[in-house]
Structure 1
Amino acid sequence: MGYAYISIIEGNPHLRSLLGWHLQHVGYSVCQSADFHHAREVFYTTQPSLVVIDAELPGGNSLEFCQWLLQQRQSLILMLSARNTESDIVRGLRAGADDYLTKPFGMQEFLARAEALMRRTRNVAPPTSLDYGDLKIDLVQRRVYLQGQMIELTPQEYSLLYVLAQNDGEPLSRSELLRRAWPDYIDNPRTIDTHVLSLRKKMETDPRQPSLIQTVRNIGYRLNLDVLKPEPSWYPSVNGQLPPIQAKTGS
């Protein structure tokens, strides 16, 4: 059980620590965050099975964060809230929460609900790919397909593309990309530019006028999902098998 991660996003440091201590005591690995910015970074590094969210966290919208988590197709959500009206509970569940626990609550009830959700994660197979129409990222084989052709990427290029894809079209700064996509600490944001150039040469029709991996002025880069066709004709419809294709390497 020690490798089953639970992420706690709670603004009250005392409650956050208490919840973490009890979860660790029963055998879970726990990561704690006081805000959504840190929680996103933690998500990419730990891939938690369960996320416990404080609905009233200052400086962030918990409902929007729930919707973001749903897009990742990775974690179940337990929402904690002092709001106990029916409309509040319905709003939280419709935003994506799998369970809703009102404050104040007993620690045994919290643990029982967390453990019930964790049992559900054992029966749900993790996603094997990210599909964005013409672009498919195979998470098992660590392969990338664009318009039916396999693109041969280096491990670092794959990691960079994966992080860009996970951000659903929103831009990421060079420093954020370094933190999320590089296994070791590197204090040179221009390293990103070199790898982006390499990705463009392999994936863009015209690398000098990129439409897929776009530069966002004064910020960094984004993956432009709007240029990808939603239902590519090459995508296999039987047994989920990819068609035999020739590798495209580029230079």
Structure 2
Amino acid sequence: MSSVSTQIIEGNPHLRSLLGWHLQQLGYGVFQSANLTQGQSAFQRLQPDLIILDADLSDGSGLEFCRWLRRQSPVMVLILSTRVTEADIVAGLKAGADDYLPKPFGMQEFLARADALTRRIRNPIPPAYLDYGDLKVDLVQRRVKLKDETIDLTPQEFSLLYVLAQASGLPLSRLELLQRAWPDAIDNPRTVDTHILSLRKKLEVDPRQPNLIQTVRNVGYRFNAEASRKAALAKGTPGAVVSNLRPTAAASS
């Protein structure tokens, strides 16, 4: 039995119901949307693990919606489409789809592809790159860029930043940071304060009023990813909404 939450965004009501029924028989949690407007609203409310996405919906481009999804979440996306050329498939994958299934297709192939994506959800590949707008962290090369400028961090500063970032905004105590970010056992919590101060000097606009690495009173420190993202948006980075996904018939080809 699968516990994967699945959203089907498919314009054909018969196909939508059929796909949903077969997935439910395998234990998937399924909810359905008939178009992109419904799909965006349901996605924001329910945050599914897997999306089955029709590329040719009546109210917009499925590929543009896929690009929008990629800016919101690491959700798995399986695109279904009547467009079957190699160029179409490549375009779908470049838009951010994890898999692309041309119509018509057999139900067993569909279920096998859904199962393959489900296994990837259960056993995710660790990320190699973190993007927080102005702040970008390369986990392979252990490099940090702020506003496209490389920031020179020591190995210990990088490890501390990585542990804070991986906590997804949750505050971590000094003891937790010592246990997770330091390679050797250290029992002096003030060591954390020293390195936090050094990080702030390198990453914050005003280290005396830190916005990215925040102090949580009586707890420790937290990484405020939204600070970097909001700074990028304030400079005019566009955000996609369904109302902008309405190409003409010619543009949607």
TM-score normalised by the shorter chain: which range applies?
A: 0.5 to 0.7
Change (3 A) 1:2 1:119: closer
Partner residue of 2:234 out of 226, 230, 233: 226
Work out whether 1:63 is the aligned partner of 2:128: no
Q: Corresponding residue for 2:132?
A: 131
More displaced, 86-95 or 16-25? 86-95
Q: Corresponding residue for 2:119?
A: 119
Any idea what SS the aligned residue of 2:105 has?
Answer: coil
Work out whether 1:82 is the aligned partner of 2:90: no
CA deviation vs aligned residue, 1:101-138 (integer Å, no higher than 9, x gap)? 111111111101110111111111799x983447x896
Change (3 A) 1:142 1:151: closer
Q: CA deviation at 1:148?
A: 2.6
Matched to 1:87, the amino acid is A
**Distance between the aligned counterparts of 1:142 and 1:45, measured in 2?**
25
Q: Is the 8 A contact 1:11 1:35 kept in 2?
A: yes
**Distance between the aligned counterparts of 1:37 and 1:102, measured in 2?**
23
* TM-score normalised by the chain length of structure 1: 0.55
Structure with higher Rg: it is 2
Matched to 2:212, the amino acid is Q
Q: Is the 8 A contact 2:66 2:77 kept in 1?
A: yes
Superposition misfits of 4+ residues, deviation over 6 angstroms: none
Any idea what SS the aligned residue of 1:11 has?
Answer: coil
Q: CA deviation at 1:72?
A: 2.2
Q: Is the 8 A contact 1:6 1:50 kept in 2?
A: yes
Q: Is the 8 A contact 2:20 2:32 kept in 1?
A: yes
Identity %: 49
Any idea what SS the aligned residue of 1:22 has?
Answer: helix
Q: Corresponding residue for 1:141?
A: 170
Q: Is the 8 A contact 1:8 1:32 kept in 2?
A: yes
CA deviation vs aligned residue, 1:15-57 (integer Å, no higher than 9, x gap)? 1011001000001001111111221222223221211111111
Q: Is the 8 A contact 1:8 1:53 kept in 2?
A: yes
Map of 1:162-241 to 2, 5 A cutoff? 225-226=233-234
**Distance between the aligned counterparts of 2:125 and 2:170, measured in 1?**
16
Gapped regions of structure 1 (runs ≥ 5):
153-160, 170-211, 213-222, 229-251
Q: CA deviation at 1:225?
A: 2.1
Q: CA deviation at 1:227?
A: 5.1
Superposed CA RMSD in Å reads: 3.4
Any idea what SS the aligned residue of 1:48 has?
Answer: coil
Change (3 A) 1:151 1:35: farther
Q: Is the 8 A contact 2:67 2:95 kept in 1?
A: yes
Matched to 1:226, the amino acid is A
Q: Corresponding residue for 1:186?
A: none
Q: CA deviation at 1:3?
A: 3.3
* TM-score normalised by the chain length of structure 2: 0.54
Any idea what SS the aligned residue of 1:27 has?
Answer: coil
**Distance between the aligned counterparts of 2:114 and 2:51, measured in 1?**
9
Q: Is the 8 A contact 2:64 2:95 kept in 1?
A: yes
Q: Corresponding residue for 1:37?
A: 37
**Distance between the aligned counterparts of 1:89 and 1:126, measured in 2?**
26
Matched to 1:79, the amino acid is I
Q: CA deviation at 1:93?
A: 1.2
Matched to 2:170, the amino acid is Q
Q: Is the 8 A contact 1:8 1:31 kept in 2?
A: yes
Change (3 A) 1:132 1:102: same
Q: Corresponding residue for 2:73?
A: 73
Matched to 1:225, the amino acid is L
Aligned residues: 162
**Distance between the aligned counterparts of 2:88 and 2:102, measured in 1?**
10
Q: Is the 8 A contact 2:10 2:35 kept in 1?
A: yes
Q: Corresponding residue for 1:92?
A: 92
Any idea what SS the aligned residue of 2:56 has?
Answer: coil
